[in-house]
């Protein structure tokens, strides 16, 4: 019997974005120009003129015949003694030691190298942060550090990704998309942003984005048919989540291991079929993954796929055997959405699970009441 359920959107999002393998090649500093040793003597250059031959020493008889030279008139020539040679060498060594040594300029830190690349670009904003010197501007340090973390500290790769993001943001203008009104008929109920905990302390707050694909079950072609429009809507939802993180107000830098500025994602596939995917849905899935992976690195904390068939849970478990542990830990397929709240028993936000909507095992209000969404008209 044919499955008449709508096909699953963004199934490809179940696949983790490709992680850059740690580079094993450190960037070697340029070797300084060779400096001649202090006691190295220059090689004499021939001028083409031969030195005059030494005059022969006259025989004693001839010297007597020529007459004796007064002792006072004879110049005194002192031959260097063997004892004076070390002293001369010591003076040369002392002179060499007093000469200033050439010292190579210290290489800029990885963060400063990203800042230099950002300054060279015509666009100066990422995620609502106007980029500035990370030494004194914590929000900029957070942005740059995320690009380094996403590339495992590989500076050239981080610079390349950062530059591409700046170019994309200059063209796509994602901040303007947050205030753009999207079609209510196409996108109503499709996505929300919620936050729980202390809004003044990011260490004690969690931000969620929710993709409720079941809301589009009866209008898949309308929602995903216009690829550019769908991507704009998805970017607007992502930017709305980032605004909720409030990176611009951060006062504490992040590190390669400590970063509270990340978002939980929940993808709800209630009433969606996984057996077939239209070309429109596949195109939207592929494009979404590419855009988010390139321009929003290190912003995903964990991703939950809820209300998926049990067979899909098995496939996710099998997939984890072949991906990096770092990636596998972020993906969680769940057959029943009502079990989501239990996943946050040990969360930094006290009672986080209970704060979630009742449809996901919590005691909080529903998404339409508690969540923020994109502008709709």
pLDDT tens digits for range 119-162? 999 999 999 999 999 999 999 999 999 999 999 999 999 999 99
Backbone angles phi, psi at 305, to 5 degrees: -105, 105
At residue 31, the pLDDT reads 40
Residue 372 DSSP one-character state: B
What percent of the chain is modeled with pLDDT above 90? 59
Give the number of C-alpha atoms closer than 13 A to the C-alpha of residue 124, restricted to the C-beta side.
Answer: 8
At residue 318, the pLDDT reads 66
Q: How many CB atoms lie within 10 A of CB 13?
A: 20
pTM: 0.73
Give pLDDT tens digits for 6-28.
555 544 444 444 344 444 443 44
Q: Is the pLDDT of residue 301 over 70?
A: yes
- Report yes or no: 114 and 148 within 8 Å, Cβ to Cβ: yes
Residue 202's pLDDT band (cuts 50, 70, 90): confident
Quick one: which H or E segment has residue 222?
helix 220-224
Q: What average pLDDT score do residues 223-228 get? A: 96
Q: What average pLDDT score do residues 219-233 get? A: 96
Q: What residue spans of 39-154 are helical by DSSP H?
A: 60-66, 84-98, 110-119, 138-150
Q: How many CB atoms lie within 10 A of CB 253?
A: 16
At residue 311, the pLDDT reads 73
Backbone angles phi, psi at 194, to 5 degrees: -130, 155
Token readout for 165 is: 């993001």
Buried b (16+ CB within 10 A) or exposed e, 288-311: bbebbbebbbbbbbebbbbbbbee
- Report yes or no: 213 and 230 within 8 Å, Cβ to Cβ: no
- Report yes or no: 269 and 307 within 8 Å, Cβ to Cβ: yes
Domains of the chain, first to last: 109-172 (no CATH), 174-377 (3.40.525.10)
- Report yes or no: 305 and 269 within 8 Å, Cβ to Cβ: yes
Give pLDDT tens digits for 82-98.
444 555 555 555 555 55
- Report yes or no: 188 and 376 within 8 Å, Cβ to Cβ: yes
Q: Report the C-alpha gap between 245 and 259 in whole angstroms.
A: 12
Q: What average pLDDT score do residues 226-247 get? A: 98
Number of helical H runs and strand E runs in the chain: 14, 7
Q: Report the C-alpha gap between 118 and 131 in whole angstroms.
A: 8
Q: Is the pLDDT of residue 262 over 90?
A: yes
More confident residue, 70 or 292: 292
At residue 99, the pLDDT reads 54
More confident residue, 342 or 200: 342
- Report yes or no: 330 and 16 within 8 Å, Cβ to Cβ: yes
- Report yes or no: 245 and 205 within 8 Å, Cβ to Cβ: no
Q: Is the pLDDT of residue 239 over 80?
A: yes
Q: Is the pLDDT of residue 248 over 50?
A: yes
Quick one: which H or E segment has residue 133?
none
At residue 323, the pLDDT reads 58
Q: Report the C-alpha gap between 197 and 102 in whole angstroms.
A: 56
Buried b (16+ CB within 10 A) or exposed e, 94-115: eeeeeeeeeeeeeeeebbebbb
- Report yes or no: 281 and 316 within 8 Å, Cβ to Cβ: no
Q: Is the pLDDT of residue 67 over 80?
A: no
Mean per-residue pLDDT over the chain, rounded: 80
Average the pLDDT over each of 104-108, 295-299, 343-347 and give the range with the smallest value. 104-108
At residue 328, the pLDDT reads 73
């Amino acid at each position: 019997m044919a499955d008449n359920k709508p096909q699953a959107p963004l199934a490809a999002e179940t696949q983790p974005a490709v992680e850059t393998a740690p580079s094993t090649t450190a960037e070697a500093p340029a070797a300084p120009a060779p400096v001649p040793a202090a006691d190295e003597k220059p090689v004499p250059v021939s001028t083409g003129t031969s030195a005059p031959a030494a005059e022969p020493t006259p025989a004693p008889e001839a010297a007597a015949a020529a007459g004796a030279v007064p002792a006072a008139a004879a110049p005194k020539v002192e031959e260097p003694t063997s004892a004076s040679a070390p002293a001369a060498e010591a003076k040369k060594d002392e002179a060499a030691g007093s000469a200033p040594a050439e010292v190579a300029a210290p290489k800029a830190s990885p963060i400063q190298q990203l800042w230099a690349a950002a300054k060279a670009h015509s666009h100066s904003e990422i995620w609502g942060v106007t980029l500035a010197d990370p030494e004194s501007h914590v929000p900029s340090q957070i942005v740059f550090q995320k690009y380094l973390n996403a590339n495992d500290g590989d500076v050239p790769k981080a610079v390349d990704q950062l530059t591409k993001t700046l170019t994309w943001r200059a063209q796509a203008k994602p901040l303007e998309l947050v205030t753009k009104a999207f079609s209510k008929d196409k996108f109503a109920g499709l996505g929300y942003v919620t936050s729980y905990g202390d809004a003044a302390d990011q260490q004690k707050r969690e931000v969620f984005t929710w993709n409720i694909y079941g809301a589009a079950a009866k209008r898949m072609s309308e929602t995903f048919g216009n690829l550019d429009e769908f991507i704009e809507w998805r970017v607007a939802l992502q930017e709305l989540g980032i605004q909720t993180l409030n990176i611009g107000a951060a006062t504490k830098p992040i590190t390669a291991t400590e970063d509270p500025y990340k978002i939980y994602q929940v993808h709800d596939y209630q009433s969606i079929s996984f057996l077939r995917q239209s070309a429109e849905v596949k195109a939207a899935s592929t494009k979404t993954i590419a855009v988010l992976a390139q321009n929003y690195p290190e912003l995903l904390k964990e991703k939950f796929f809820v209300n998926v068939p049990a067979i899909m849970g098995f496939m996710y478990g099998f997939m984890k055997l072949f991906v990096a542990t770092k990636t596998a830990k972020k993906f969680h397929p769940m057959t029943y959405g009502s079990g989501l709240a239990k996943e946050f028993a040990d969360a930094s936000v006290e009672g986080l699970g209970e704060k979630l909507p009742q449809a996901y095992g919590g005691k909080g209000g529903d998404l339409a009441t508690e969540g923020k969404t994109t502008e709709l008209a």
